[in-house]
Amino acid sequence: MAQLVPILHDEISTELTLHRGLPDQMNMFPRFRYMGSKYRLMDWLNSTLQDLPFTSALDAFSGSGVVSYLLKSMGKQVCTNDSLHFPYVLSQALIQNNATRLLAEDIELVLSGRAASSEDKFIQRTFSDIFYTPSELEFLDNAWAGLREFRSPIKRSLVLAALLRSCIKRQPRGVFTVSGIGEKYNDGRRDLRLSLEEHFVEQVALYNRAVFSNGMQNSSYHGNIFSHGPGDVDLVYMDPPYVPRSDDNCYMKRYHFLEGLSCYWDGLEIMQTSKVKKIKKPYTPFGYRKEAIDAFDQMFRQFSDSILVLSYSSNAYPGLDSLVSLMKKYKRSVEVLKKPHRYHFGTHVAAKRNVVEEYLIVGM
State the minimum distance, in angstroms, from the CB of residue 121 to ligand SAM: 29
Q: Between 200 and 221, whose beta carbon lies closer to ligand SAM?
A: 221
CB atoms within 10 A of CB 266: 9
At position 14, the amino acid (one-letter code) is T
Residue of minimal Cβ distance to ligand SAM: 63
Q: Between 93 and 109, whose beta carbon lies closer to ligand SAM?
A: 93
Cβ distance 65 to 91 under 8 Å? yes
Q: Residue 59: in which H helix or E strand, if any? A: strand 56-59
- Cα of first residue to Cα of last residue in the chain, in angstroms, is 52
State the minimum distance, in angstroms, from the CB of residue 288 to ligand SAM: 11
Q: Between 194 and 337, whose beta carbon lies closer to ligand SAM?
A: 337
Peptide bond preceding 153: is omega within 30 degrees of 0, i.e. cis? no
Q: Between 141 and 239, whose beta carbon lies closer to ligand SAM?
A: 239
As a dihedral over the C-alpha atoms of residue 144, residue 150, residue 154, residue 158, rounded to 10 degrees, the angle is -40
Q: Between 183 and 266, whose beta carbon lies closer to ligand SAM?
A: 266
> What is the binding site for ligand SAM (CB under 6 A)?
34, 36-38, 61, 63-64, 66-67, 81-84, 87, 224-225, 239-241, 251, 284, 286
Three-state DSSP class for residue 185: coil
Q: Between 114 and 317, whose beta carbon lies closer to ligand SAM?
A: 317
At position 74, the amino acid (one-letter code) is M
CB atoms within 10 A of CB 1: 4
Closest CA to 224 of 180, 176, 285: 285
